Amino acid sequence: MRVKKYLLTALAVLLSIVYLLPLAWMVLASFQSQKDILAGRWIPSVWQMDNYRTILQRAKISNWFLNSLISSSIGTAGIVIICTLSAYAVSRMDFPGRNLLYIFSLMGFMIPSQAIAIPLYLMIRKFGLVNNLLGIVLPALPSSMAVFILSQFMKAIPADYEEAARLDGAGELDIMFKIILPMSVPAIITVAVLHFTWIWNDFFWPLIVMTNEKMYTLPVGLVALAGSDVNIRYGPIMAANVMASLPVIVVYLFMQRYLTRGVVLSVR
Amino acid sequence: MIIHSKRRRTLLAYLLFLPFAILLIIFKLIPFANSVRMVFYKWDILGTPQFIGLANFRRMFSDKVFVSSLWHTFYFVILTVPPIMVLSFLVAVLANSKIYTQAKGFIRSAFYLPYTLTISVVCLTWTLLYNPYFGLISKATKSLGLKTINWLVDPTWAMPAVAITTVWWTIGFCVILYIAGLQQIPASYYEAAELDGATDFKKMIFITIPLLKRVHVLVIVTQIIASLQIFGQVYIMTAGGPAGKTRTIMQYIYEQGFRYFRMGYAQTMAFILFLIMLVFSYLQLRLMTSSSKEELI
């Protein structure tokens, strides 16, 4: 029994390490000279920061970083506010047409964003929002996934709390802001973390909406950088990769619990 | 008084729902209505759209590139979904087996980490790993005495290479699902089987696999949906090449719509993709709304 435990643990650890090798190489290569990379080395012969210096000087990476950060943060904040309110309405309030509105709010699931990308682009263009961060933020706001996760969570909160508060004369808004929303904080964080990483990592939509190099988000900028600038070698690109990954990895380290729960909640 | 407060509450509910509803209509439903309308038009980015009936469809079905893109997309689904399912199941079983707790957390984090990275980072890194001259994959195959493959340039291997990267990138998502499912299987089932002298293998075949039926379906459906929409990996790693061998339907839509600005024609293909996905999105919605909170099995 004991031996089996050792063996299985060793297997698990070994497998995880092998699985992470591509990432390990990415980080190591970001400290290597072009010569080291071309030699197929793992450990840099000389640890150097040149790649990071090059990428910070040459590329518009700070612009891209800010674009990604601003659109992801504002988008996430907007989603949380708008979808929490509507989820509260369809899950905690009783009114005629409630079920219909709930089904309506889930319609986004039936319309994949890729299927409407072209007419949406034409609309954004008409609004003058091409090369504008609002062009990324606004279409992201009506998230059926957020309403779904939040309303499922709120539905499961027992009615007792609410009834007690009502007897004490609390109004609907008191109940919402003082009882249900504070109790829904775990679900709200899950929704926030999930959507932040989704907007941060999205590639297709920003590729279409951002045509000006200054307005690229990080994922789009990285690809443009690797493809266009002939003077950029492999090392700097790996350095850019590391810099682009750090924020999500930080979010992941601190919010792992919420993220993994989000995975389960988002499919059920 | 009571009637009054009831009406007020209804009004409040609609008010709370209103911002979401308006945004959903503007940014999802109206574009969707337009997406259906556009398929009947010759719609270039400049100039007036021109009604042309079913000409877009006729053109599409005689367009060899469209047909091959559709086939490449299905090929990609076949190359990715079964390995993702089998591998993530095995990893989850290992992560959930009787190993040290620290190792449990480690394996779970290790496999989920790549999924948090943006597709650009993943693809740019793998492009270098696949490089036949200095890439670590060719180094590994060389040390095993195998022939060096120029993965992303070889017509036979380009798509499998893109698929391998995708499997590596997405497995974590499904591992988490499987672990959550495994944790919901009551221990008493296994204890009862042990009393009957069942082996580990038998427990796996007769308890674990059948009880996780719902998770299997969830994994298959979500991964088919994701793989049908494959774009970034192809765009970044091969740009649809070599000789169009990795051009998938989204890649072709992108080329037609945003490189040649044939919006009507591109939208007609997007509409076909929508129809294919409809089956799976409906299935997913049914699955999501049919279970209670956080129950996976």
Please check whether residues A54 and A41 belong to one and the same domain.
no
Please check whether residues A12 and A92 belong to one and the same domain.
no
Please check whether residues A148 and A221 belong to one and the same domain.
yes
CB contact under 8 A, B296 and A264: yes
What's the CA gap between B29 and B26, in Å, rounded? Answer: 6
Give me the pLDDT at residue B240, please: 86
Say which CATH number the domain at A162 has: 1.10.3720.10
Is residue B230 assigned to a domain? yes
CB contact under 8 A, B9 and A148: no
Which residue type, as a one-letter code, is found at position A9? T
- Disruptive mutation site among A37, A109, A263 for chain B (greatest number of B CBs within 10 Å): A263
- For residue range A25-72, list pLDDT tens digits in order: 999 999 998 888 888 888 888 898 888 988 888 768 889 999 999 999
Is residue B185 assigned to a domain? yes
**Which one has a higher pLDDT value, A243 or A252?**
A243
Long-range contacts of A169-177 (CB under 8 A, 24+ apart): A172/A93, A172/B9, A172/B12, A173/B12, A175/A92, A176/A88, A176/A92
Burial of A95 (0-12, 13-18, 19+ CB in 10 A): middle
Please check whether residues A71 and A110 belong to one and the same domain.
yes
> Does pLDDT of B125 surpass 50?
yes
B216-241: average pLDDT? 92
B287-295: average pLDDT? 70
3-class secondary structure, B146: coil
Measure CB to CB from residue A197 to each of B16, B116, B277 and give the nearest one.
B116
Q: Does A126 touch chain B (CB under 8 A)?
A: no
3-class secondary structure, B77: helix
Is residue B16 assigned to a domain? no
B216-222: average pLDDT? 92
Asked if residue B118 lies in contact with residue B205, where contact means CB atoms within 8 angstroms, the answer is no
Is residue B14 assigned to a domain? no
> Does pLDDT of B145 surpass 60?
yes
- Count of domains for chain A: 2
Q: How confident is the model at residue A148 (pLDDT cuts 50, 70, 90)?
A: very high
Please check whether residues A9 and A61 belong to one and the same domain.
no
Give me the pLDDT at residue B27, please: 96
Asked if residue A107 lies in contact with residue B282, where contact means CB atoms within 8 angstroms, the answer is no
3-class secondary structure, A162: helix
A212-239: average pLDDT? 85
Give me the pLDDT at residue A205, please: 96
Alpha helices, H only, B25-100: 30-38, 55-61, 64-95
Give me the pLDDT at residue B1, please: 45
Asked if residue A172 lies in contact with residue B12, where contact means CB atoms within 8 angstroms, the answer is yes
Number of residues assigned to chain B: 297
Highest mean pLDDT out of A103-112, A161-170, A178-187, B66-75: B66-75
For residue A43, the tally of other CB atoms under 10 A from its CB is 9
Please check whether residues A140 and A219 belong to one and the same domain.
yes
Residue of A nearest to B228 (CA): A114
- Count of domains for chain B: 1
> Does pLDDT of B293 surpass 60?
no
Asked if residue A183 lies in contact with residue A157, where contact means CB atoms within 8 angstroms, the answer is yes
What's the CA gap between B9 and B1, in Å, rounded? Answer: 12
Alpha carbon distances (Å) from A215 to A57, A63, A134, A198:
17, 7, 11, 18
Name the nearest CA neighbour of A246 among A40, A65, A100: A65
Measure CB to CB from residue B23 to each of A5, A40, A82 and give the nearest one.
A82
What's the CA gap between B161 and B156, in Å, rounded? Answer: 9
Domain range for A119 is 49-267
B206-234: average pLDDT? 92
Is residue B51 assigned to a domain? no
Residues in chain A closer than 8 A to B34 (CB atoms): 116, 119, 122-123
Burial of B10 (0-12, 13-18, 19+ CB in 10 A): middle
Is residue B159 assigned to a domain? yes
Identify the bridge partners of residue B50 per DSSP, sorted by sequence position.
B42
> Does pLDDT of A147 surpass 90?
yes
Is residue B213 assigned to a domain? yes
Please check whether residues A236 and A125 belong to one and the same domain.
yes
Q: How confident is the model at residue B4 (pLDDT cuts 50, 70, 90)?
A: low
Is residue B232 assigned to a domain? yes
Please check whether residues A167 and A256 belong to one and the same domain.
yes
**Which one has a higher pLDDT value, A43 or A83?**
A83
Give me the pLDDT at residue B248, please: 95
Give me the pLDDT at residue A233, please: 79
Between residues 96 and 125 of chain A, which touch chain B (CB distance below 8 Å)? 96, 98, 101, 104-112, 114-123
Domain range for B245 is 63-290
CB contact under 8 A, B250 and A23: no
Please check whether residues A69 and A43 belong to one and the same domain.
no
3-class secondary structure, B262: strand
Among A71-75, A162-166, B24-28, where is mean pLDDT lowest? Answer: A162-166
Please check whether residues A81 and A155 belong to one and the same domain.
yes
Q: How confident is the model at residue A168 (pLDDT cuts 50, 70, 90)?
A: confident
- Disruptive mutation site among A13, A82, A253, A267 for chain B (greatest number of B CBs within 10 Å): A267
* ipTM field: 0.90
Chain centre distance of CA A105: 21
Name the nearest CA neighbour of B224 among B283, B179, B159: B283
Give me the pLDDT at residue A229, please: 57
Dihedral over Cα of A234, A240, A244, A249: its sign = positive
Say which CATH number the domain at B171 has: 1.10.3720.10
